Amino acid sequence: NSCNGILHIVKVRMSSNAAASMSAWQINRYGGIEELTLSTTTRAATIKNPNELLVRVHASSINPIDIRMMGGYGKALINVLRQQKGVTQSGTEFPLILGRDFSGTVVETGRNVTKFKVGDEVWGAIGAERPGTHAKYTVVSQSEISKKPLNISHIEAASMPYVAATSWAALCTVGELTERKAVGKRVLIFGGSGGIGTFSIQLLSSWGMDVTATCSTDAIDLVRSLGANSVVDYKVKPIWNELKHQKRFDYILDTLGGEYTTNGVKLLSPWQNSKLITLVTPLLKNSDTLGLIPGMLKSAVTAGIDSIKGLKSGGSVRWAFFLPNGAAMEKVKQMVEAEQIKPVVQETIPFSKVPDGFRTVSNGHLRGKIVIDNL
């Protein structure tokens, strides 16, 4: 035992030394892709809380939220979280490292970490207040991660955590959907070809749902191959005529907002506890432009109006947000190992070329995910 103890201290010291300073892509002020700078002397990510772990990041992905956060989106609310959790002590969020998800190896554990040990291969998505994963090391909480699936590479694994945790938050936490309730129900997904769409189609189809997804012409084969029973091409003609003649839906996952939320409500099965869950909400933008409290109040009013729209149609409209969720990552891990869900990687970017990946994500039209090889 004392030998093990000494070994552990040596391991912790070695890994701490390894992370004294690290390489990271960071921004020093809000702006466009030109603000991204590769620093080799960024202060090392360090464990501050006994539930945290230090992870060597092997791969991470780029999400639309990274592009928005680079421009300052959400800063009012996220800065409050940063202060509450002691992430920013110097009064500024800069230098700011972007990147919300990762696949990697545990190199150090806080004293209350019970589920993981040094050397474990793990994956997960981390809270918006944390310094990000576009770096050689990142600090995560044990509640945000699970072991990585054994049957896929780190690059493939890194394509999933942020979209998996967001889809889980939307469908299961906010939408109260479970595998048992899902069987035989009809779901419509607006935006089937991107990160959220490619993940959600696979999750819901393997839970036995009848999945309809919208996408553009060139993505139809991909979306079908992931398990969509019916695909509606939004490029050839407006989708509403075709959709309104179909049997109504029990769940709608909306990744597009605007007219998709307003018209989507009318496609819900009336008076069946059906739900449209939207990932496009004005909460963060309102807080940025109006200030924290007025922004939240305005958002509460809009959320109320949205839920009235749902009630009038005999369903409900709910707002959803990304939430880190280690337990969900564990379930997804099992589904990946059972080959019910597979990674959809459009392109892998070397760590030295991260701005190219940001450009690709900014240009849109993604087919799955853009993944960074952090090694």
Binding site for ligand NDP (CB under 6 A): 63-65, 163, 166, 190-191, 193-197, 214-216, 234, 255-256, 279-280, 321-322, 364-366
Using only the alpha carbons of the chain, give its radius of gyration: 21
DSSP states of 311-354? HHTTEEEEE------HHHHHHHHHHHHTTSS---EEEEEEGGGH
Q: Which is nearer to ligand NDP, 64 or 110 (CB)?
A: 64
C-beta of 41: minimal distance to ligand NDP in Å? 32
Which residue from 47, 30, 17 is spatially nearest to 141, judged by alpha carbons?
47
C-beta of 169: minimal distance to ligand NDP in Å? 7
Specify burial of residue 321 (Cβ count, 10 A radius: 0-12, 13-18, 19+): middle
Q: Which is nearer to ligand NDP, 25 or 234 (CB)?
A: 234
C-beta of 324: minimal distance to ligand NDP in Å? 11
Q: Which is nearer to ligand NDP, 131 or 197 (CB)?
A: 197
Element counts in the chain: helices (H) and strands (E): 14, 16
Dihedral pair phi/psi, residue 182, rounded to 5°: -70, -30
184, 185, 190, 193: CA torsion to nearest 10:
-20
Q: Are 153 and 178 in contact (CB under 8 A)?
A: no
C-beta of 73: minimal distance to ligand NDP in Å? 10
Which residue from 17, 344, 357, 374 is spatially nearest to 197, judged by alpha carbons?
344
C-beta of 66: minimal distance to ligand NDP in Å? 10
C-beta of 256: minimal distance to ligand NDP in Å? 5
Q: Which is nearer to ligand NDP, 53 or 326 (CB)?
A: 326
Residue at 56: amino acid letter: R
Q: Which is nearer to ligand NDP, 315 or 368 (CB)?
A: 368
Q: Which is nearer to ligand NDP, 173 or 216 (CB)?
A: 216
Q: Which is nearer to ligand NDP, 54 or 231 (CB)?
A: 231
The residue number whose beta carbon is nearest to ligand NDP equals 194
Distance CA 254, CA 364 (A): 17
C-beta of 361: minimal distance to ligand NDP in Å? 7
Residues 6+ positions from 111 with CB-CB distance below 8 Å: 50
